[in-house]
Amino acid sequence: MSAALSPYRLGKARELYNVFNVFNALSWNFLVGSIVTLFALRLGASSTYIGLLSAVLYVSFFFLPLGKVLARRFSIVGVFSFTWTFRAIVMALVAAAPFAEMAGNRDLALTLLLWGVFLFHVIRGIGMIGNNPVLSELAAGPDRGSYMTQIQIINSAIGMFAGFVIAMILGREPPIYFYSIILTVGMGCGIFSGVLIKKVPEPPGEEQGEKVKLSGMLRETLAKPALRQFILILFIIALVSGVSRAFIVVYAREVFGQTDGMVSLYTVFGGLGNLMIGLLIKFLVDRIGAKPIFIICVMIGLFSMIPIVFFPFGAVENISTAILFLAFLFFVLNFGFLGAEGIAQTYFMGLVPPNMMLNMGIIYFFVFGIAGAGGSFLAGLFLDTLGGFNISAFVSFKILFVILIALTVFALFLQQKLTPLGALPVMGALGVMFSARELRAISILDRLNKTRNSSEEEQLLSALHSTPSKLAIKGLLERARSPRLAIRIESLRAIEVLETLNEDAEKALLDDLINNPYTTAYISARILGNHGCFSAIPLLRELTASHDYMLAGEAVIALARLGDSTFRPHIEKIILKTQNPRLRIMGVQAFGIYGSPNSISVLMDILKISNPPPYLRDEVTLAMAAILDVQNQFYPILVRFRKDQSLAPALAMDEAEAAYEFYSSAFGRGKGRGRKKDPAFAFYTRQAKALTGAVTALVRENKGAQLSRWILEIPSDRAHTIVQIVLAEAVLDDELIAVTRLKLLIIHWAAHELRLWTKKIKQS
């Protein structure tokens, strides 16, 4: 097996293949696209003949085994190139058919048309043995789906261009020799594309000595449940797609009486549909996977056929309605079913291992050929049979499409059980498709994949931080291993804001903890804690002793977020022992997260440290506020105190007076008259009045005895015992009371408790 292409050689090969694809698409549309159907209808062909002509398109797939035999003897690309050139040459038979018609020999013209198209597809089938191996080789890498869809986009764009050119040339029933001109141009494009493909690198071939018969390949395929199910779905979709797209041309001609030029113009709308679905798939496939897109495309194909069944007969003669309806029909039908065919091949290549691609590819195209050929021929025969019973074409097509709708519904049912291959579920995929944030994230990821500038890469990663998307996780993990520190940091920041992490992300973050101290490990520790990765607890415990104080601090906070209460006593020792202000502050924050009343005494001891580093006392006070469950309310008070410390007495008295006023407004002026004989109510009233005096004594005289008694008298069902004892002792400690922040916190907590009492009494 040959080595994989280097990035440079792969890029050059893709460029060459893209040019080949342009001329190949032109050749196809000018030789055997809708033009042959229009030509046959111009010659007065029956529906059975049209069905046979459409079925011939699929005869290619039955000659793949012959191509496989030749590929063993010659190179795959050599066989591909020769057949692609020769298939264009044999279309000279069809190019001669208009002259036979002009000579008055219509039967000969129809015969030349059928034989030319038949030989074209036979030779094409031999050469198609190289299609999947070449395409699989060029589509290697993480952008497989995107590149394959890019090829579909090229085909669609060229198809639109060719359809428009044909529509302009044919116009309104031009001389029949115009068909010869179009076919000759198509032959020239076909010959050039055949020569061009010879320059593409040779893909890996079969292993030596491997000779598998068709029956063996079929048994191997059917033995695998996932492949067996896919093959059945492919058969149904290929049948419905082949029949609907082939006979929609006949439908426009026979039911609506449209001219060749108008029908060619409708094919431009069909090409537009193919182009639009190609662009959509290219944008989404590598992010949401092939399966949901496959299902959605089939659903769109299903909905596109329903209007045919319900289209009213009276609207057929309305020119404006007919034109709008047919343009819409060609667009949506191609949007759905050509999208389904294209994404089916992408799904197939993800399902089949590379070493089985050649053999399984033959089965793939055999099934496609049987479904398309059989369906097209039987559909034509079916329409002629209905016509033999004097059933109008209008009704006949309704019956045909009812059958196709039923088959499509059955295929949709089967698709639900397809192997996901890592794809999102359908509802998840739809959520992405209709989410502006997810689509913006995908757009940023696409730009990220294309950029080669580290500064731009950093900016795009920063944008992903503002646009979190679970679809970005794979790309972010790749860039988390970038050689540049700034890129790694931005990648981890973008991962941090994601709602959930997958197993790959958790493993990568754990590896980062071990391998990257002093750089990014601290960010990974924070992410693991924020996202509840409990498997990281043992490693995080070890890292609390790291010399990287940022990592140690984030490990402490992560353990608190993960609720590792058994390790909390060790964190207390770390905080009291360390002289690193950042680590001490982060440990204090961890106590606030734990929310354990047992930690308040440790925090009180930290407040007694002489010459504390900046902000340490603020962090300690806020951590205690978090434990006391008043952090949100106390924070604005602390901010005001920090701006102007002279406001401390006023802030303290405001808290006490506001709390008493809250109690009075609830029960003053006779509102509590019915409760006066209640001893509990009398106690609460006495406490409410006493709070202001206790706070006044503490603020103005630094005497905390009254407030200490007030705290200890709080009913046991209202406050934690440890909290009461520690705070009651704190207001008696001269050293602690000197810390104004703590004094404000205790007063605020007492006022908060009074408000809670008031609310409870009102509810009782």
pLDDT at residue 217 is higher than 60: yes
Distance (Å) of CA 57 to CA 33, 116, 180, 671: 10, 11, 20, 92
Residue limits of CATH 1.25.10.10 in the chain: 501-627
| Two tokens, residue 664 | 């009075």
Distance (Å) of CA 8 to CA 11, 131, 149, 450, 482: 5, 22, 21, 14, 21
What phi and psi, each to the nearest 5 degrees, are found at residue 45?
Answer: -70, 150
Q: Higher model confidence: residue 548 or residue 262? A: 548
401-413 pLDDT, tens per residue? 999 999 999 999 9
Q: For residue 218, what pLDDT is reported? A: 67
pLDDT at residue 210 is higher than 70: no
Euclidean distance between CA atoms 180 and 169, whole angstroms: 12
Q: For residue 675, what pLDDT is reported? A: 55
**Beta-carbon neighbour count of residue 335 at 10 Å?**
24
pLDDT at residue 731 is higher than 80: yes
Q: Is 670 left (phi over 0), alpha (psi -120 to 50) or beta?
A: left
Instruction: Give the model's confidence band at 671: pLDDT under 50 very low, under 70 low, under 90 confident, else very high.
Output: low
Instruction: Give the model's confidence band at 706: pLDDT under 50 very low, under 70 low, under 90 confident, else very high.
Output: very high
Euclidean distance between CA atoms 563 and 569, whole angstroms: 13
Topology adopted by domain 501-627: Leucine-rich Repeat Variant (1.25.10)
How is residue 608 annotated by DSSP? T
Give the burial string for 512-537 (b: 16+ CB within 10 Å, else e): bbeebbeebbbbbbbbbbbbebeebb
Q: Crossing angle of helices 319-351/357-388, nearest 10°?
A: 150
Q: Higher model confidence: residue 180 or residue 211? A: 180
pLDDT at residue 541 is higher than 90: yes
Euclidean distance between CA atoms 226 and 244, whole angstroms: 27
Instruction: Give the model's confidence band at 208: pLDDT under 50 very low, under 70 low, under 90 confident, else very high.
Output: very low
Residue with tokens 């007694």: 608
pLDDT over 70 percentage in the chain: 91
**Beta-carbon neighbour count of residue 316 at 10 Å?**
15
What's the rounded mean pLDDT across residues 682-691? Answer: 81
pLDDT at residue 521 is higher than 70: yes
Q: Residue 301 contacts by C-beta under 8 Å, 6 or more apart in sequence?
A: 240, 241, 244, 333, 336, 337, 339, 340, 408
pLDDT at residue 540 is higher than 90: yes
What's the rounded mean pLDDT across residues 316-320? Answer: 87
Q: For residue 143, what pLDDT is reported? A: 65
Q: For residue 204, what pLDDT is reported? A: 64
Q: For residue 269, what pLDDT is reported? A: 86
Q: Higher model confidence: residue 591 or residue 463? A: 591
Euclidean distance between CA atoms 96 and 231, whole angstroms: 39
Q: Give the angle subtended at the CA of 418 by the CAs of 405 and 443, to the nearest 5°.
A: 90
Helix (H) or strand (E) holding 624: helix 616-627
Residue limits of CATH 1.20.1250.20 in the chain: 7-200+213-430
Q: Are 77 and 197 in contact, with CB atoms under 8 Å apart?
A: yes
Distance (Å) of CA 683 to CA 60, 669, 691, 695: 96, 18, 12, 18
134-174 pLDDT, tens per residue? 777 777 666 666 677 677 777 777 877 887 787 777 766 77
Q: For residue 295, what pLDDT is reported? A: 92
| Torsion 4-7-10-12 (CA) sign | negative
Euclidean distance between CA atoms 391 and 98, whole angstroms: 32
Residue with tokens 């759905």: 336
Q: Is 5 left (phi over 0), alpha (psi -120 to 50) or beta?
A: beta
Q: Higher model confidence: residue 34 or residue 695? A: 695
Return mean pLDDT, the chain: 84
Q: Are 349 and 144 in contact, with CB atoms under 8 Å apart?
A: yes
What phi and psi, each to the nearest 5 degrees, are found at residue 651?
Answer: -65, -40
Q: For residue 546, what pLDDT is reported? A: 92
Q: Are 312 and 253 in contact, with CB atoms under 8 Å apart?
A: no
Euclidean distance between CA atoms 533 and 365, whole angstroms: 47
| Two tokens, residue 127 | 């050469």
Euclidean distance between CA atoms 631 and 364, whole angstroms: 65
Euclidean distance between CA atoms 208 and 368, whole angstroms: 28
In CATH terms, the superfamily for domain 7-200+213-430 is: MFS general substrate transporter like domains (1.20.1250.20)
Among 30, 287, 292, residue whose Cα is nearest residue 167:
30
How is residue 424 annotated by DSSP? P
Residue with tokens 């506001």: 658
Q: For residue 406, what pLDDT is reported? A: 95
Q: For residue 680, what pLDDT is reported? A: 65
How many CA atoms does the CB half-sphere of 373 hold within 13 Å? 15
| Two tokens, residue 479 | 């860039």
| Two tokens, residue 438 | 């997810």
Task: 415-420: list long-range contacts, CB under 8 Å, 24+ apart.
Answer: 415/233, 415/291, 415/294, 415/295, 415/298, 416/295, 417/229, 418/226, 418/229, 418/230, 418/233, 418/291, 418/294, 418/347, 419/226, 419/291, 419/351, 420/289, 420/291
266-306 pLDDT, tens per residue? 888 887 887 788 778 777 877 788 889 999 999 999 999 99
Distance (Å) of CA 536 to CA 89, 512, 514, 541, 554: 67, 12, 11, 9, 13
How is residue 202 annotated by DSSP? P
Euclidean distance between CA atoms 487 and 481, whole angstroms: 9
564-598 pLDDT, tens per residue? 999 999 998 888 888 899 999 999 999 999 988 88
Burial class (CB in 10 A: 0-12, 13-18, 19+), 255: buried
Euclidean distance between CA atoms 174 and 177, whole angstroms: 8
Q: Are 524 and 509 in contact, with CB atoms under 8 Å apart?
A: yes
Residue with tokens 């609390």: 544
